[in-house]
A and B are shown apart, each in its own frame.
Chain A
Amino acid sequence: MNIKLLYQLSVRNIFRYKRRNIMLFAAIAVAVAGVSSMNTLIRGFQADMLDSALSNLTGHIKVHAPGYRDDPSIERGFLLEDGFQPNIPADKLLGWAPRIRVPAVIMSERETRGVQLVGVKPEAELISFLADVPIDGEGLSGTQDGRILIGAELARQLETKVGRRLVMITQGADGLNRERGFRIAGIYDAQGTGLEKVYVFTGLARLQQMLNSEAVTEVSVRLKAEPQKTSVKQLLSRTFVNLEVMDWQELEPQAAAMYLFADGAIYIWFILMMSALTFGLVNTLVATVMERVRELGMLRALGMRNRMVISQVVLESTIIMSVGVVVGLLGGYLIYLSMSDGIDLSSFSAGVEMAGMSTHLQPVFLVDDFVLVASMSLVLGFLASIYPAWRAVKIKPLDAMRR
């Protein structure tokens, strides 16, 4: 087949119907720019959701004693050997943190609230949201620090401030209630999220002393990359033989479902936009081909084979699609750049918080998504041109030339 001839005919025919093809280019470019820029927002939403899920004291993988999730008390804790280190390769591990997390009641002079009292090693909490939030006052100095960190919203509800003392009641290892006064070291600001109302932090060793236990209730592991999760989970399952080793998707099924939905949303959005475009594309190509049916009939009468006529029509539409896709992707990238500082969603804070997102949406550019949009668009353009081309060669050359 004479590719040069096909290319020459296709390109010249594209220029022959300038106005129509400019409209077609524009429609493709706008659709592709819309899809690709929307993808960056969906990916941003997905990344934010994942980060929120992981930072919410979950990590990629967590180890619990069996039954802890149904009855989260120190009695469902487990012992870690002195100097314990999880046997995870350094190139995969971002960090790990042992914790005690138990339900507690917190009381100020004026109010009482139910919270989660969390004993932490502050230096290990680089893997959780605690490392990122601004703190009014001081952070915890170490595992022996007997002060507490509370969230800004909880402080507002308890009508308290840094330096004041609060009383906490929780259940010890013997099943009896323990009560102790804690001074507020600092108040953390987690951007108004629900975390502020729930988590109260103190030193791990001091909480163990209060609960009269040497156990921890969880080990949280944060990895460098999401795909390493499966192999590390298997590794930890072999280390903690009698404990539950679960990944974030098992621990946060709602966030996991939303994460998967975001993946699907990319395809759904693409299919919706491009389906509408495809109808327009097929319609325009049919009109273009039918307008030239006499000419195509003449080419066949002269001896051009049907497959070459089909190739010419397909090549023509593929060139139009390719140019439209390139311009569209460029447009999509420029839209992404224009949003690179992120989008402020604070006006919708209640709604976005429910979706597990922060109020600042940072678009994420993934080359793979752009490649996906480009390749799917080209395949669609190719398929959309088959029908008009087939219609063109279905008409006998003689009948075509009589039109």
Chain B
Amino acid sequence: MSEVVVECTGLTRTYDQDSVPVYALRGVDVSIMQGDFVSLSGPSGSGKSTLLNIIGGLDRPDSGEVVVSGTRLGTLSESALAELRLHKIGFVFQAFNLIPVLSAQENVEFILQLQGVASAPRRARSTAVLDSLGLSQMSHRRPGELSGGQQQRVAIARAIVTNPALLLADEPTANIDSATTEELLLLLQKLNREQGMTIVTATHDPMVMGYTTRKIKLHDGMIEEDETAVVV
């Protein structure tokens, strides 16, 4: 039986917008298992990014509890949350968010450097990941010298190089063309199928949802549908 990677119970989150409360999440309960490839979808303001950010420890719920890999996030300090993100969670952001002054390889190595991995194994691991994503030719290029798709692949390389328990991707295909989107989705699917990586992605894109094995649809801060596809 698969292990639970994320357990959310009764999550609520309200934002103040011009002193008017906006309910982003209203009592969300969800469990994500080891090896799930989950899409969080829904219209703008449905709460998918808020849920993703709370799972990633970037935001805190007003009430409810989140447990990631056995760690209760509500009790953690900002510093401990940063430590958890560093060691257990990989992030892929919509706007690529690579460090502009570092090359592709240095960007991938960045997280390993933060983790204190020594130079030789760091270089070996980043090279292997870049090779597996077909980026070995571009390893010394800086983000400004890469296309959008290449930048997003580097971002994925950076997110997976530490073998995180959970990969969170917020609209990862929003800024790239459809051919590159498909290429990326195949890559994520491969990571999920071959390495058993748990992936949660917030998306609007039906093409993305087509690749995920579990589709959670949110509406007005609540889960409207939670459908698991049968993988053949």
Check if A and B associate. Answer: yes
> CA A308 – CA B110 in complex, angstroms?
13
Q: Which A residues are CB-close (under 8 A) to B37?
A: none
Q: Is A9 a contact partner of B82 (Cβ separation < 8 A)?
A: no
Min CB distance A303 to B, Å, is: 3
Query: In angstroms, how far is the closest chain A Cβ from the Cβ of B56?
Result: 8
Which of A300, A302, A304 counts the most B-chain CB atoms under 10 A from its CB?
Answer: A302
Number of interface residues of B (CB under 8 A): 26
**What is the 8 Å Cβ interface bit string for chain B, positions 72-109, against chain A (1 contact, 0 not)?**
00000011001111110001010001011110001000
Using Cβ atoms and an 8 Å threshold, which residues of chain A touch B86? 302-304
B223 within 8 A of A: no
Q: Is A12 an interface residue (CB 8 A)?
A: yes
Residue of B nearest to A304 (CB): B114
Chain A hits for B121, CB < 8 A: none
Q: Does A366 contact B (CB under 8 A)?
A: no
**Distance in Å: Cβ of B190 to nearest Cβ of chain A:** 23
Residues A305 and B53 in contact, CB atoms below 8 Å apart = no
**A376 contacts B by Cβ under 8 Å:** no
Give the nearest-CB partner of B94 in chain A. Answer: A401
In contact, B114 and A303 (Cβ under 8 angstroms): yes
How far does the Cβ of B162 sit from chain A's closest Cβ, in whole Å? 9
- Bound complex: CA A238 to CA B59 (Å): 78
**CA A302 – CA B106 in complex, angstroms?**
14
Contact partner of B99 (CB less than 8 A), chosen from A299, A306, A397, A401, is A299
Given known A-B contacts A397-B58, A398-B53, A401-B93, A302 and B101 have beta carbons under 8 A apart:
no
Q: Which residues of A contact B106 (CB under 8 A)?
A: 8
A304 to B101, CA, bound (A): 16
Neighbouring A residues of B111 by C-beta, 8 Å? 302-303
Asked if A302 contacts B58 (CB within 8 A), the reply is no
Which residue from chain A places its CB closest to the CB of B170 in the assembled complex?
A: A401
Q: Is B116 an interface residue (CB 8 A)?
A: yes
Contact B110 A12 (CB under 8 A): no
Q: A302-B91, A306-B79 are in contact. Are A9 and B58 (CB under 8 A)?
A: no
Are B85 and A303 within 8 A (Cβ)? yes
Q: Mark A6-24, 1 if CB is under 8 A from B, else 0.
A: 0011001101100000000
Which chain A positions have C-beta within 8 A of B59? Answer: 398
B175 within 8 A of A: no
Q: Are B82 and A303 in contact (CB under 8 A)?
A: yes
Q: In the complex, how many angstroms separate the beta carbon of A305 from the nearest chain B beta carbon?
A: 5
Question: What are the residues of chain B within 8 A of A301 when measuring CB–CB?
Answer: 56, 58, 85, 91, 93
Hey, what's the 0/1 contact readout for B56-71 against A, CB within 8 Å counting as 1? 1011000000000000
What distance in Å separates the Cβ of A11 from its nearest Cβ neighbour in chain B? 9
A273 to chain B, nearest CB (A): 32
Q: How far is the CA of A15 from the CA of B56 in the complex (A)?
A: 33
Which residues from chain B contact A398 at a C-beta distance below 8 Å?
53, 58-59
Chain A residues, CB < 8 A from B113: 2, 4-5
- The closest CB in chain A to the CB of B87 belongs to A303
CA distance A213 to B86 in the complex (A): 94
- Bound Cα distance from A308 to B78, whole angstroms: 14
A244 at the interface (CB under 8 A from B): no
* Chain A residue at smallest Cβ distance from B86: A303
A302→B90 CA distance, assembly (Å):
8
Q: Contacts A2-B116, A5-B114 known; A295 to B100 CB distance under 8 Å?
A: yes
The smallest C-beta distance from B86 to any residue of chain A, in angstroms, reads 3
- Residues on B with C-beta less than 8 A from A265 are none
Nearest chain A CB to B52 CB, angstrom units:
11
In the assembled complex, the Cα of A398 lies from the Cα of B168 at a distance in Å of: 14
> How far apart are A78's CB and chain B's nearest CB, in angstroms?
77
* A152 shortest CB reach to chain B, Å: 70
List residues of chain B with CB within 8 A of the CB of A12: 101-102
Pair A300/B82 contact, Cβ less than 8 Å: yes
**B111-125 interface bits toward A, Cβ cutoff 8 Å, 1 = contact, 0 = none:** 101101000000000
Closest to B56 in A: A301
| Alpha-carbon separation in the docked complex, A295 to B110 (Å) | 14
Q: Please determine whether B100 and A306 come into contact, CB atoms closer than 8 angstroms.
A: no
Q: Name the residue among B53, B79, B84, B97 with the largest chain A CB count within 10 angstroms.
A: B97
A298 within 8 Å of B (CB atoms):
yes
Chain B min CB distance to A311 (Å) = 13
CB distance B101 to A305 under 8 Å?
Answer: no
Residue-by-residue, is B181-202 near A (CB-CB < 8 Å gives 1, otherwise 0)? Answer: 0000000000000000000000
Q: Pick 9 A–B contacts, CB within 8 A, sort by A.
A: A2-B116, A12-B102, A298-B97, A300-B82, A303-B85, A303-B87, A304-B114, A305-B82, A396-B58
The 6 A-B pairs of least Cβ separation, nearest first, read A303-B86, A12-B101, A303-B85, A298-B97, A398-B58, A5-B113
A positions within 8 Å CB-CB of B: 2, 4-5, 8-9, 12-13, 15-16, 295, 298-306, 308, 396-398, 401
